[in-house]
């Protein structure tokens, strides 16, 4: 059997499995379905997914529980499969809709994370400047962190307040630096933590904080330029995505034959599939070409 045949069989098996799952939910009640699925999907996997999602939401500054997010995405996937199969009678479109239901929320979180990191990067220049001024006068890392925590607003201020609180409570500086390295998960943030580690052993490295401020200024200028070019394109893309459903409802209200065309003809089914395929292509292209590295 050729490789193409193997892929065809695997794809067909996946489609059949998806259809079987939908029929299972339609025949048996919800609790029984959950018990059946628990044998297929280990609870540990679901818990790990929820915990990873919780960390992503926290990094993006989204106040939402990871478990609620995973439940919402799962329901969106099931609803997409139902609409695609039983409303539009288009199995390919159903798979594309379900894929989009997973990718779009994740894309939103990714963009929020980038925005949050950019905000922290902008505040980082101020934080390093304040730290350098205080550390030059009194070479005490804890006191300098406290000055930054008091004068820098959120979201970066929250990171330094937690660090200063940990130092005040007697936590080891190595552990504080490790926590900062995790939370300042971008290039200049990691460089700042490395300078903190060096400054703990040798206070003569204080001038290097000034050099970091200069590098931050140059980096910010480049990132803002790139981001300004992407912002309009991303905003237009989200508007077009949000307009898909209202456009369909308007077309169906004004042209009653719209539904019959989209669900009952080959051309209409191709149109529906291409609409959701374009969503997936946009997400993939944005991640590869539109991401602003911070």
Provide the 10 A C-beta neighbour count for residue 246: 9
Please provide the size of the chain in residues: 294
Report d(CA 195, CA 206) in Å as an integer.
8
Contacts of 240 (CB under 8 A, 6+ apart): none
Q: Which of these ranges, 39-53, 55-69, 70-84, 243-257, has the smallest mean pLDDT?
A: 39-53
Report d(CA 100, CA 102) in Å as an integer.
5
Q: What is the mean pLDDT of residues 35-60?
A: 65
pLDDT bin (cut points 50, 70, 90) of residue 45 is low
Tell me what pLDDT residue 225 has: 79
Tell me what pLDDT residue 293 has: 59
pLDDT bin (cut points 50, 70, 90) of residue 57 is confident
Tell me what pLDDT residue 60 has: 78
Share above pLDDT 70 across residues of the chain, in percent, rounded to a whole number:
82
62 vs 198: which has the higher pLDDT: 198
Q: Looking at the predicted structure, is the pLDDT value of residue 269 above 90?
A: yes
pLDDT tens by residue, 84-114: 999 999 999 999 999 999 999 999 998 888 8
Q: Which of these ranges, 23-27, 161-165, 242-246, has the smallest mean pLDDT?
A: 23-27
Place of tokens 């039983």: 86
Whole-model pTM over 0.75: no
Report d(CA 18, CA 81) in Å as an integer.
9
15 vs 163: which has the higher pLDDT: 163
Report d(CA 30, CA 71) in Å as an integer.
14
Surface-to-core class of residue 105, CB atoms within 10 Å of its CB (0-12 exposed, 13-18 middle, 19+ buried): middle
Q: State whether the Cα torsion 134-139-143-148 is positive or negative.
A: positive
Closest listed residue to residue 129, CA positions, set 180, 172, 188, 197 = 188
Name the average pLDDT for the chain.
82
pLDDT bin (cut points 50, 70, 90) of residue 2 is very low
Contacts of 138 (CB under 8 A, 6+ apart): 144
175 vs 39: which has the higher pLDDT: 175
């Amino acid at each position: 059997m050729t490789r193409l045949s193997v892929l065809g069989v695997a794809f067909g098996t996946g489609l059949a499995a998806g259809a079987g799952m939908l029929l299972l939910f339609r025949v048996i009640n919800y609790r029984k379905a959950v018990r059946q699925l628990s044998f297929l999907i280990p609870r540990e996997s679901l818990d790990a997914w929820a915990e990873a999602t919780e960390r992503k939401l926290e990094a993006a500054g989204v106040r939402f529980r990871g478990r609620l997010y995973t439940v919402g995405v799962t329901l969106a996937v099931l609803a997409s499969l139902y609409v695609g199969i039983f409303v539009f009678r288009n199995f390919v479109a159903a798979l594309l809709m379900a894929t989009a239901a997973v990718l779009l929320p994740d894309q939103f979180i990714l963009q929020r994370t980038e925005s949050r990191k950019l905000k922290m990067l902008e505040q980082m220049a101020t934080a390093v400047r304040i730290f350098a001024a205080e550390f030059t006068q009194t070479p005490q890392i804890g006191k300098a962190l406290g000055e930054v925590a008091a004068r820098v607003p959120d979201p970066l201020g929250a990171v330094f307040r937690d660090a200063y609180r940990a130092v005040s409570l007697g936590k080891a500086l190595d552990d504080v630096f490790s926590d900062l390295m995790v939370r300042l998960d971008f290039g200049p943030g990691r460089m700042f933590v490395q300078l903190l580690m060096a400054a703990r052993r040798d206070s003569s490295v204080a001038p290097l904080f000034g050099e970091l401020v200069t590098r931050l200024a140059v980096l910010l200028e480049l990132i803002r330029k790139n981001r300004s070019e992407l912002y309009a394109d991303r905003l237009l893309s989200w508007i077009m995505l949000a307009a898909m459903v209202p456009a369909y409802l308007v077309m169906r209200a004004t042209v009653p034959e719209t539904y019959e065309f989209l669900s009952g003809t080959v051309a209409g089914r191709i149109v529906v599939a291409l609409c959701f395929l374009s969503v997936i292509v946009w997400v993939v292209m944005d991640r590869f070409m539109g991401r602003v590295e911070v």
